[in-house]
């Protein structure tokens, strides 16, 4: 715990609270919008795993999503009735998902910092040797189901930084959307954990640790979605952005997966 507190105190939270959080919100809003769900529902998991047009992605990364869509609307004014209606400009969801990953990678130390990740791994048993390093298409075979005390500890760890937690909640909103729909490949929570950009990406050569982390985070998605619900006490340390509404209103339309 001392290591976690030290890492938190050394971070510049102003960077995260500003443009990065706003940009991540724009990405998630686009990916879970009614239009995107209608046109690309069955391929939502592929948004995170397939490579989009790299040149276009570089432009989005440089400009930001809203500015890029506004520019696109102006460049294609003849195709749209309203120049300011940027919501009418269609984009490949893979581009938005890749840009969202880029935004998460710009967050210093990731949404889940290494010390928090390591603490979560200490709570969960390592997967058996039968669990493949990257479980994408198989059934969930990691049997860990957190106890109530462990769940409370998990939530406490994730809530140490209010801004990171808010961003994590938005990423998990997208994850829940992907798992809720009828996927063409039936991706599992453990498989989705491989794709989610929530950690800093350090120690990527430690295959055993990565396998453990993916299984651990997949188990959290399987058994205790409520650890990702916003709550009033999370924002108590961040008075400048404390909401005046309930947590679920902040991410309207998202509910934990039905048992």
Average pLDDT of the segment spanning 229-258? 40
User: CA–CA separation, 52 vs 35, rounded Å?
Assistant: 19
Torsion angle defined by CA atoms of residues 51, 20, 136 and 248, in that order, rounded to the nearest 10 degrees: -130
Tens of pLDDT, residue by residue over 179-232, are 877 566 678 888 889 899 898 765 567 788 888 999 999 999 988 888 887 663
User: Exposed, middle or buried by CB within 10 Å (0-12, 13-18, 19+), for 250?
Assistant: middle
52-78: per-residue pLDDT in tens?
888 999 999 999 999 998 888 887 776
Q: Report the share of the chain in percent with pLDDT over 90.
A: 26
pTM over 0.85: no
Q: What are the structure tokens assigned to 34, written together? A: 């009614």
The band of 118, judged by pLDDT with boundaries at 50, 70 and 90, is: very high
Other C-beta atoms within 10 Å of 6: how many? 10
Three-state DSSP at 22 gives helix
Residue ranges of the domains in the chain? 2-11+108-250
């Amino acid at each position: 715990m001392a290591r976690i507190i030290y890492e938190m105190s050394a971070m510049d939270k102003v960077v995260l609270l500003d443009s990065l959080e706003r940009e991540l919100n724009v990405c998630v809003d686009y990916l879970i919008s009614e239009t995107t769900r209608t046109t690309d529902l069955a391929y939502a998991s592929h948004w995170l795993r397939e490579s989009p047009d790299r040149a276009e992605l570089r432009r989005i990364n440089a400009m930001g999503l809203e500015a890029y869509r506004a520019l696109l609307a102006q460049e294609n004014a003849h195709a749209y009735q309203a120049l300011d209606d940027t919501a009418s400009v269609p984009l490949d969801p893979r581009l938005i998902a890749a840009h969202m990953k880029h935004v998460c990678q710009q967050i210093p130390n990731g949404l889940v910092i290494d010390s928090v990740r390591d603490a979560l791994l200490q709570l969960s048993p390592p997967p058996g040797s039968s669990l493949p390093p990257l479980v994408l298409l198989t059934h969930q075979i990691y049997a860990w189901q957190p106890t109530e005390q462990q769940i409370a500890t998990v939530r406490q760890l994730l809530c140490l930084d209010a801004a990171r937690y808010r961003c994590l909640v938005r990423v998990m909103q997208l994850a829940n959307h992907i798992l809720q729909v009828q996927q063409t490949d039936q991706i599992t929570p453990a498989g989705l954990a491989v794709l989610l950009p929530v950690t800093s990406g350090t120690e990527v050569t430690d295959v055993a640790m990565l396998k453990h982390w993916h299984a651990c985070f997949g188990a959290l998605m399987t058994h205790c979605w409520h650890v990702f619900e916003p709550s009033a006490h999370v924002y108590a340390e961040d008075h400048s952005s404390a909401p005046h509404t309930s947590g679920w209103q902040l991410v309207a339309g998202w509910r934990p997966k039905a048992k």
